[in-house]
Amino acid sequence: MRLRNGTFLTLLLGCLCALLSLSWYGAFSGHKGEVVDIYQREFLALRDRLHAAEQESLKRSKELNLVLDEIKRAISEKQALRDVNRTWSSLSDETKLKLWNITNKNVLHLPTIFHHLPHLLSKENSLQPAVHVGQGRTGVSIVMGIPSVKREVHSYLTDTLNSLISELTQQEKEDTVIVVMIAETDEQYTTGVAENIKNLFPKEIHSGLLEVISPSPHFYPDFSRLRESFGDPKERVRWRTKQNLDYCFLMMYAQSKGIYYVQDMLSLSHPVLPSLIQELLCISPSTISLSLSLSLSLSARAQIFTLDQLEDDIVAKPNYLSTMKNFALQQPSEEWMILEFSQLGFIGKMFKSLDLSLIVEFILMFYKDKPIDWLLDHILWVKVCNPEKDAKHCDRQKANLRIRFKPSLFQHVGTHSSLAGKIQKLKDKDFGKQALRKEHVNPPAEVSTSLKTYQHFTLEKAYLREDFFWAFTPMAGDFIRFRFFKPLRIERFFFRSGNIEHPEDKLFNTTVEVLPFDSLQSDKEALQEGRGTVFKYHRTSDGYIQIGSFSKGVAEGEVDPSFGPLEAIRLVIQTDSPVWIILSEIFLKKAE
């Protein structure tokens, strides 16, 4: 019985231990599962936080890049603003005003080319030349513009180019641009003419002397809507209207070629201006710069001359370009507006660059109303004529702005007009009246004299071969001086006094004297060459060297090269004269 009880207790204890073990195991297993779940949830949360941090980092990185870009842009704009401020300060008041009017939405706007030719806005390339052959030479003294149109019978263009180019010296070729504008919209024709010119004048094209352009077909308006006027038939109205636009296009293109204008034209370095202009005009940036150059008066360096307007059916006299430049430089006043070197139509007209924008704008305002020669005369009338004065007074005032050179330098040779069916045998009567002798093209110089001039027979006109110089009775010490704009080497000189009508009005006991630019250097060169040239001549107290004198009213001779470049040449009267004097010929030949 006791054994049976002990066995029972043992079994009972074993069962209790097993139950406790199972209980502990179950409890432990449940706790372990909960820990795993907790870790798993924390890991997932950590992964989400890392992903969010990565996204936030990328966002911050992008923001930092944007900030850096803004800083760079601000620095760039600040530098550009400095540049444009420097450029802006150099612009003329008129240029600043017109740029302000175009780029500012809150002010009244001045007219531009688009007001007069609104159809240009429909095509962004309407102001771009359809044909452009040449090197784009700029910085020259004179631009010669030659508009050419298709003629039914005969073209004179190549003959005209041969005449103009053959009469230019090498130095003149390097300081000139000849622009041929083929004023037609037929692409096949314009391309053919351009190729023909390239083949005939390859050297001139390559050097930059010669350029060929043609306007875009979209440059011209609808000519069918023109109003007939002045009794002209519709075809003639169309012809003269298109001719006005042709001249405008050529002038606007040529304006950017000359040395005396252009630098203010494209001073749009400020980053805001092009975008504003493009927004206002709704055209491409490439058209903006050209349209500004065409429509604004941005000529800041218009000192002398820019454009010589010619035709495609002319011949030129020898040394025509030197004569034109000298004539312009010798004008006593800067008030002139047109210098005419032919009395026919629109041939041989020279304009200052300062006036080109005004002329173009005026023509554009009335291009449909009147022909070009009438409009030019109207410009002069508006500038100087008083409505309360008579016509003679007006003509005298206009003569100060429109100055004619005689004899004419260009002759019209064409007989078939650009107007279909019209025959015109126009000839310039002044072209052959007086031979233009090559040796009488004098270098540019400032002329002065102590003599009292008689009426309009000035020394300036004598030096330019327009007339002779006539002065009252000279006294001892009186002088006639020619001071060169820049020192020149002169090879020889020739002076003639008196003329056929007044043969006794001659210079007597008058010396010819030169002023070397560098007297010390000329003395040194003379000694080195062993000639002692300077010392065999009398030197005056003011540095002049006497090299000749008048005999029987004439003084001529050579200038020794050892003198070097000369600053001036003068004639000095040594004794009182009993008669008036006439200086009928002046010739100073530059050394080659």
Task: Give the C-alpha separation, 427 to 81, whole Å.
Answer: 57
Catalogue the E-assigned strands of 356-442: 402-404, 410-412
Please name the residues in contact with 353: beta carbons below 8 A apart, sequence gap of 6 or more: 255, 258, 260, 261, 299, 301, 302, 305, 306, 307
Q: How are beta strands 445-449 and 338-340 bridged, if at all?
A: unpaired
User: For residue 509, what pLDDT is reported?
Assistant: 93
Q: What is the pLDDT of residues 177-231, one digit of tens each?
A: 999 999 998 999 999 999 999 998 999 999 999 999 999 999 999 888 888 888 8
The C-alpha angle 91, 92, 96, rounded to 5 degrees, equals 75
Containing 573, the helix (H) or strand (E) segment is strand 566-573
Q: Which pLDDT belongs to residue 290? A: 35
pLDDT given at position 436: 33
Beta-bridged to residue 410, according to DSSP, are 316
Long-range contact set of residues 549-554: C-beta below 8 Å, sequence gap at least 24: 549/509, 549/510, 549/511, 549/512, 550/495, 550/497, 550/506, 550/507, 550/508, 550/509, 550/510, 550/511, 550/512, 552/506, 553/496, 553/497, 553/498, 553/506, 553/507, 554/494, 554/495, 554/496, 554/497
Q: What is the C-alpha to C-alpha distance for residues 573 and 510, in angstroms, rounded to an integer?
A: 4
The end-to-end CA distance of the chain, in Å, is: 159
Sign for the CA dihedral angle at 282, 283, 285, 289 comes to negative
Residue 542: how many other CB atoms lie within 10 Å: 7
526 touches 533 (CB < 8 A)? yes
How many angstroms separate the CA atoms of 25 and 21, rounded?
6
Angle (CA) 439 441 446, round 5°: 130
pLDDT of residue 488: 93
- What is the topology classification, in CATH, of domain 438-590? Jelly Rolls (2.60.120)
Considering the segment(s) 123-264+299-412 as one domain, its CATH architecture is Alpha-Beta Complex (3.90)
Cα separation, 560 vs 394, in Å, equals 51
Question: Where are the domain boundaries for CATH 3.90.550.10 in the chain?
Answer: 123-264+299-412
The single residue listed with the structure tokens 């003084």 is 555
Exposed / middle / buried, residue 233 (Cβ in 10 Å: 0-12, 13-18, 19+)? exposed
- Ramachandran region of residue 532, left (φ > 0), alpha (ψ -120 to 50) or beta? left
Does residue 498 contact residue 505 with C-beta atoms inside 8 Å? yes
Q: What is the pTM of this model?
A: 0.54
3-state class (DSSP) for residue 272? helix
CATH 2.60.120.260 residue ranges of the chain are 438-590
Give CA–CA dist 59/328, Å, rounded: 70
Q: H helices within 296-346, ranges in order?
A: 320-329
Between CA 390 and CA 499 the distance in angstroms is 38
133 touches 197 (CB < 8 A): yes
| Alpha-helix runs per DSSP H in 369-449 | 372-384, 391-399
Secondary structure (DSSP) of 439-451? GG-PPPEEEEESS
Q: Which residue has the tokens 């103009």?
A: 164
Whole-number Cα distances in Å, 279 to 103, 106, 127, 228: 9, 14, 18, 37
Tell me the two tokens of residue 85. Answer: 């401020």
Bridge partners for 142 per DSSP = 176
Going by C-alpha positions, the residue among 265, 263, 267 that lies closest to residue 294 is 265
CA–CA gap between residue 458 and residue 474 (Å, rounded): 15
| pLDDT tens track for 38-61 | 767 777 777 777 777 777 877 777
Residue type, 201: F
Please name which of 356, 364, 319, 311 lies closest in space to residue 180, comparing C-alpha atoms: 311
Yes or no: say if 356 and 260 are a contact pair by the CB < 8 Å rule.
Answer: no
What pLDDT is recorded for position 259? 41
Residues of the chain with pLDDT under 50: 1-3, 259-305, 416-417, 419, 421, 423, 433-439, 532-534
DSSP E strands, 80-167? 131-133, 142-148
**Residues 127, 120: contact at Cβ < 8 Å?**
yes
Given a contact cutoff of 8 angstroms between Cβ atoms, the answer to whether 557 and 512 are in contact is yes
Instruction: Please count the other Cβ atoms lying within 10 Å of the Cβ belonging to residue 246.
Output: 23
427 Cβ contact partners less than 8 Å away, ≥ 6 residues apart: 411, 412
